[in-house]
Structure 1
Amino acid sequence: MSLSAVLTRIDDQLPDAIDRLMGLLRIPSISTDPAYAEPCQDAADWLVNDLQHIGIDAEKRTTPGHPMVVGHIDGPGPHLLFYGHYDVQPVDPLELWHTDPFDPKLEDTSKGQVIRGRGSSDDKGQLMTFVEACRAYKEANGALPCRITFFFEGEEESGSPSLIPFMKENAEELSADIALICDTSMVAPGVPSIASQLRGMLKDEFTIHGPRIDLHSGHYGGPGLNPLREMSRIIASFHDDQGRVAVDGFYEGVHEVPDELLRQWESCGFNEADYLNSVGYTQPHGEQGYSTLVQQWARPTLEINGIWGGYQGAGSKTVIPAEAHCKLTCRLVGDMDPDDLRSKIRAHVDAQLATDARVTWDSDLEGAPAAVMNVGRPEFEKARQALSDEWNREAVFCGMGGSIPIAGYFKEILGLDAMLIGFANEDDAIHSPNEKYNVESFHKGIRSWARVLDALAG
């Protein structure tokens, strides 16, 4: 099979590939909002139809939530399982978008041409880099070099409630030699990257209750316990002045980065100033004594994601509210246990409560441990060399600050090691207004996957 013919076809057919991506981006497949259930079905149908046009035996599979898309195609090489997700985040606040989030556009910017629209980077654009590589490979050579199973999810952005049951029920069908995941980024622009470790995730939510009802702040201001003030005090107790989490036992299971790996990270091309300045920071604000990169990839966090309570409307309402609410998440590393950590955080809050305050906790428990990839497998070095050849820059093994639970599920449920390769950039504004995906990322991402497929088949 000819790799050069595949790469030439990718270059020649890039406008068509962009047009296809635009078609998928126009579908508002917001998984967390029931109002968009039909568009999620439409996105799954779109992908099934596209895979079938390539010659892949694909179908939409029903779940209690949004459907899965599963496809199979035979090939002479190893059996690869490729995962991506077709659902997207909500677009709020809509007024901050410069264009319609579901009317994608090509835009010229100072850093090159970009595809602007919700899902362009997370994860439709990334997903389609692999699909387009398979399309070009099959059209150029008449077949693919590997046996491939395609597995596309529609609930990744809403907690994946159907994912684990579906994987368990279809474990035999989804079995393969190794899993490929595209939902990742490059450590710096133009630096091809393979994620070697991911932080885990813990989510929780609690409510501080005070008086039986909202109180007049003149009648009870002073003697009355204010849940918002209690909440503020408790939240302030989560961290010390050095940015360390002050919850007793929080750092159990956390390991320091080995010196050899730390040296690799320091030379991976990460630009701290660009990373911070791109979002309006002048310095890092995390745990003192650790570099920005180590804080992002290898240290745990406790973040407050939302606080609310009391009167939220226009003008003023002079009340002491009956309740205050807080959403928090933790990013986990090493051997941190999400269930054990949840107990420690809740014990910390309980110990801080003042007399006449009480707390209730969310019953929907979500948590996943950190994941470390098996980079000693020969496939990782083959892929790293293939990426290096395409980008004319040594590809690197890097950490990731985000959490991709599917990597752990592949290991836990299917016994599969996962290799994570993506071409997003830090400034893609995923989950935010004006999300974009660089045309270079899309183009060279397609070429990169073609090279990786060729390398893994060899």
Structure 2
Amino acid sequence: MSHSALPAVLDRLDADLDAAVERLFALLRFPSISTDPAYKPACAEAAAWLVHELNGLGFAAELRPTPGHPMVVAHGDALADPASAAPSLLFYGHYDVQPVDPLNLWNADPFAPAVETLPDGRRVIRARGAVDDKGQLMTFIEACRAWKAETGTLPAKISILFEGEEESGSPSLIPFLEANREELSRDLALICDTGMFDPKTPAISTMLRGMMGEEITVKAASRDLHSGMYGGPASNPIRVLAKILAALHDDTGRVTIPGFYDDVDDISPDLARQWEALPFSAAGFLGAVGLEIPAGEQDRSALEQIWSRPTCEFNGVIGGYTGEGFKTVIAAEASAKVSCRLVSRQDPEKIRAGFRELVSSLVPADCEVVFKRHGSSEAVVMDVTAPEFEAARTALSAEWETEAAFVGCGGSIPIAGHFQKLLGMESLLIGFGNDDDNMHSPNEKYDMESFRKGARSWARVLGELSRKA
């Protein structure tokens, strides 16, 4: 397939925009809330709708059962241009959505999608799942539709995997990938579940932080104590816990867990220059949430701290009387929930062991500490020297008329790590969400420009991958 077909493909997408929005609306109407068993039928209906849509485009698509909600698997190999030397691709998205609570904060029915015009003139698609992830996955389907409509073929061998449990922890995903490793393994994965750097700057996420979660409970006396009678000689678990938490960072913001930084790599000079050139202001970033003084590692920029540096944060502290009024009690125990975001080559279990070692060393002899492990995952770092990454950056830059950036992601997207470890594939994480899309919140939206240019962006990426092959 010639790259010269791209202008016609883009024109087709623009001409078909209204119909594409109606197709998205049809998918958005399914209340496919994966975490609530009451919506299991709706999840199955959403999956079946996607199968029907993909079969209508010429894919070989089918529902695949799991112990939970079904997977949608589709193969378009028969549609691929036989002359194309482009890499084979696996596109991933998810059709399930978050619950809508609190419903009273929505301005309209979450599953009655509509186009609204904001005060600043932007047109947006309002519905649960609009940005996460139905609007995003439909941008790719529409790009494939346009390529096939204009050329009769696809520019590469494309398979699709849509999951129905992403918003509820993906319990069926790893077993499914392991059982279907050979079928799903491709040269490259494409994931559309991320966002823009800002509304005008497209981004490719190349770093995803991992996670280590731990809950600690410090126990002292056999019961709560009267602070007037026991205050002073009796160990106070809250005081012990406060000392432990304070000791997890030094005065420069560095984490003190033994071996914490052993496997942390600095970013490359080229990537550092890219990040420095981005229109980012630490003052503006913090000011938006009522803060102004940067915390964290003092010798690192805010973007580095968010994208490429590990952290240790306290997510909850419980101890003593927390009700209305006052109660002079020394609690028998106090607990904290602690999460570490991990980067580079950090091993979650090595970090967990170091964390427990440090905490245990700070507990007095007549107290005990109980540990409860929570989830863990390794960080994911993509090989951006692979030609496909530069090809995608070229395509995105052309569509948005702003140079696309290789960025990090402060959160964790486990699917990219699963593809890397289980299927041996790197992933291009490209998404078109904006910070004000209310993801997971009431009145979720997706900018019409994100939907339109998202589809055009995927069309360009597919064309560029074909041209670069």
Q: Same fold per TM (> 0.5)?
A: yes
Residue 7 of structure 1 corresponds to: 10
Residue 389 of structure 1 corresponds to: 398
CA drift at 1:346 = 1.7
Give the Cα separation in 2 of the matches to 1:452 and 1:193.
Answer: 13
CA drift at 1:137 = 2.2
- Unpaired runs of 5+ residues, structure 2, are none
SS of 2:344's equivalent in the other structure is coil
CA drift at 1:214 = 5.5
Going from structure 1 to structure 2, the CA distance change for 1:101 and 1:208 (only over 3 Å counts) comes to farther
Going from structure 1 to structure 2, the CA distance change for 1:369 and 1:310 (only over 3 Å counts) comes to same
Aligned residues with identical type, % of pairs: 56
CA drift at 1:171 = 0.6
Contact 2:131 2:446 in 1 (8 A): yes
CA drift at 1:397 = 2.0
Residue 95 of structure 2 corresponds to: 86
Residue 202 of structure 1 corresponds to: 212
Going from structure 1 to structure 2, the CA distance change for 1:361 and 1:42 (only over 3 Å counts) comes to farther
Contact 2:93 2:191 in 1 (8 A): yes
Pair 1:441-2:450 in alignment: yes
Pair 1:117-2:127 in alignment: yes
Whichever residue aligns with residue 435 of structure 1, its letter is: E
Contact 1:196 1:399 in 2 (8 A): yes
Residue 350 of structure 2 corresponds to: 340
Whichever residue aligns with residue 454 of structure 1, its letter is: G
Give the Cα separation in 1 of the matches to 2:105 and 2:358.
Answer: 38
> TM-score by structure 2 length?
0.87
Contact 1:31 1:157 in 2 (8 A): yes
CA drift at 1:101 = 4.0
CA drift at 1:383 = 1.7
What RMSD, in angstroms, separates the aligned Cα atoms of the two structures?
Answer: 2.8
Pair 1:258-2:268 in alignment: yes
Pair 1:408-2:417 in alignment: yes
Q: After the TM superposition, which of the residue ranges 404-413 and 154-163 deviates more from structure 2? A: 154-163
Give the Cα separation in 1 of the matches to 2:304 and 2:35.
Answer: 32
CA drift at 1:222 = 6.4
CA drift at 1:228 = 4.5
Q: Tell me the alpha carbon deviations over residues 197-236 of structure 1, each in whole angstroms, 9 at most, x when there is no partner.
A: 2222222333334454566777766666554554444333
- Unpaired runs of 5+ residues, structure 1, are none
One of 165, 174, 177 as aligned partner of 2:187: 177
Q: Tell me the alpha carbon deviations over residues 413-443 of structure 1, each in whole angstroms, 9 at most, x when there is no partner.
A: 1111221211122333333444332221111
Going from structure 1 to structure 2, the CA distance change for 1:384 and 1:223 (only over 3 Å counts) comes to same
Q: After the TM superposition, which of the residue ranges 61-70 and 332-341 deviates more from structure 2? A: 61-70
How do 1:155-234 residues align onto structure 2 when only pairs under 5 Å count?
Answer: 155-212=165-222, 227-234=237-244
Contact 1:297 1:399 in 2 (8 A): yes
Pair 1:40-2:50 in alignment: no
Contact 1:191 1:269 in 2 (8 A): no
Residue 439 of structure 2 corresponds to: 430
Going from structure 1 to structure 2, the CA distance change for 1:15 and 1:235 (only over 3 Å counts) comes to farther
How do 1:295-374 residues align onto structure 2 when only pairs under 5 Å count?
Answer: 295-308=305-318, 321-363=331-373, 366-374=375-383
Going from structure 1 to structure 2, the CA distance change for 1:363 and 1:283 (only over 3 Å counts) comes to closer
Of structures 1 and 2, the larger Rg is shown by 2
Q: After the TM superposition, which of the residue ranges 257-266 and 29-38 deviates more from structure 2? A: 29-38
CA drift at 1:337 = 1.1
Pair 1:23-2:26 in alignment: yes
Whichever residue aligns with residue 147 of structure 2, its letter is: Y
> TM-score by structure 1 length?
0.89
CA drift at 1:169 = 0.8
Going from structure 1 to structure 2, the CA distance change for 1:301 and 1:117 (only over 3 Å counts) comes to farther
Q: Tell me the alpha carbon deviations over residues 278-318 of structure 1, each in whole angstroms, 9 at most, x when there is no partner.
A: 43333433221211111111111112223345666677777
CA drift at 1:91 = 4.2
Residue 56 of structure 1 corresponds to: 59
